[in-house]
Structure 1
Amino acid sequence: MTDRGSSGPQRAAGADAPQLTVLNLFATPLVIATLPEAPALNAELKRIILAREAAAGESVQRSNHGGWQSTWDMHQWGGAPMQKVLAFARNIVDSVTVDRAGKRHAIAWRVNSWANVNRQGHGNQFHTHPGALWSASYYVDDGGVGADASLGGEFEIQDPRGVAPVMYAPYLTFPGPDGAALGEAQRLTPQAGMCVVFPSWLSHGVRPYRGTRERISIAINFSLGG
């Protein structure tokens, strides 16, 4: 049996069983990159974001459980440091966007963006970003979770394969890592300087942060017609 995109060639059970080809369809891209000049840039971004939080006071309420979320216009008030993050994320999005024939196009992206500050006990419920093609999370300060996973605050992604895991016999699946992940949420531990790009329809959230610092991130949506 040849299992494309998962494990290597295998034989089906039985001495006379035919060789099978298994196509692992509907892969979901998650793109991760690290901004080269992140340490100096993040120090300035943190200063800008915390000053904005202090001046704004109340938080925008969306998916956040506690914490502070800015208005969706950080690209207008984040200054040169934010423009560098935007350019970095835009370059990633450009590199992974093609039409149905596999051809790249020059796209004038429209963006909205906002800052998130989570402190102890804060997180975000599962949500999607309607009206956008790609979304990005950039980590200004990981709150120490990059060095100590016990602090929580992971970026959590729901399996997009709908009701598959609850249809019938959820303890059975198919071979390979995609089978083992069926119905399971996947968690990614953020690190300062990391940029994660994903389809905007992918349901995601943030696990409660258990540290004593600020966990600071920037969210960006990319839609057409900028």
Structure 2
Amino acid sequence: MPTEIEIQITPLFSTPLLVFTPADHVRINARLSELILQREASVPTHRDTEVIGWSSPHDLSMLEWAGEPLRALFAPVIEVAKQVTTLSDRCSHGNRRPDWNVVEVWANVQRHGGANAAHSHPGSFWAGVYYVDVGEVCPQQEKGGELQIYDPRGCLPRMLAPYLQYSMTELHDAGTSISYTPTAGQCLLFPGWLFHAVNTYHGVAPRISVAFNLDPVLTSAKFNGTQKTVAGQPSR
């Protein structure tokens, strides 16, 4: 008779994808949509080889022309980042939750044929995207425009054994990518090193999003016995 063996399965190296909806998202979306579409109509797109569509500069200039709704958006974003991050044991203030600054923010408008090539957000611990209007993006219509998220382990699992997959549900995506269909008002936070893209959008209504990067505010913290001051640019 076969011997029963107890197997403990522990999925390792998880990658966080945080999805939440700010309470004031309806008002935020209405105001941001108005301001972003006005900006698209009056200012040329920022040159970005990764983007097919309109984009504003990747800096803090958006806070000058869309500051009020952005402040309403980033208040809950900063709070979420604080709740899910602590200083590591390498810092004498381990287990303390750092504050966060928005160091880059930019708007994206994609119309028929728009897309974003695969990229990461180097230098940022948390990167994020907020969906002002997803246009005609939905799983049933096959209009494209989904956020494509790539396995940070790369394609190696499939390259070595393309005819095999792990039987654990948590590992069915090993070596592949995941297509995420957003809804208006959703905010996504993920590690800046996580490669992602936007599938080609085939809708007619504009697909509007706001991307941003967060850096921690670490002032006079001790790292391995030495003083180090790190502070991102202040949010406005």
Q: Which TM class, normalised by the smaller chain length?
A: 0.7 to 0.9
Corresponding residue of 1:91: 79
CA RMSD of aligned residues (A): 1.9
> What runs of 5+ residues in structure 1 fail to find an aligned partner?
1-13
Aligned positions, number: 212
Displacement after TM superposition at 1:146 (Å)? 4.0
Corresponding residue of 1:29: 16
- Aligned partner of 2:186 among 178, 190, 194: 194
Quickly say closer, same or farther: Cα 1:177–1:162, change in 2 above 3 A: same
Q: Distance in 1 between matches of 2:141 and 2:129?
A: 18
Q: Distance in 2 between matches of 1:22 and 1:134?
A: 29
Quickly say closer, same or farther: Cα 1:53–1:157, change in 2 above 3 A: same
Quickly say closer, same or farther: Cα 1:149–1:38, change in 2 above 3 A: farther
Residue pairs, 1:118-133, within 5 angstroms? 118-133=110-125
Residue pairs, 1:15-164, within 5 angstroms? 15-16=2-3, 18-64=5-51, 66-72=52-58, 73=60, 74-101=62-89, 103-146=95-138, 148-164=140-156
Corresponding residue of 1:220: 212
1:18-45, Cα deviation, whole Å (9 max, x unpaired)? 3222221100000000122222221110
> What runs of 5+ residues in structure 2 fail to find an aligned partner?
217-230
Corresponding residue of 2:196: 204
Q: Distance in 2 between matches of 1:168 and 1:58?
A: 42
- Tell me if structure 2 keeps the 8 A contact 1:44–1:81: yes
Identity across aligned pairs (percent)? 37
Q: Distance in 2 between matches of 1:57 and 1:163?
A: 37
- Tell me if structure 1 keeps the 8 A contact 2:155–2:176: no
- Tell me if structure 1 keeps the 8 A contact 2:147–2:181: yes
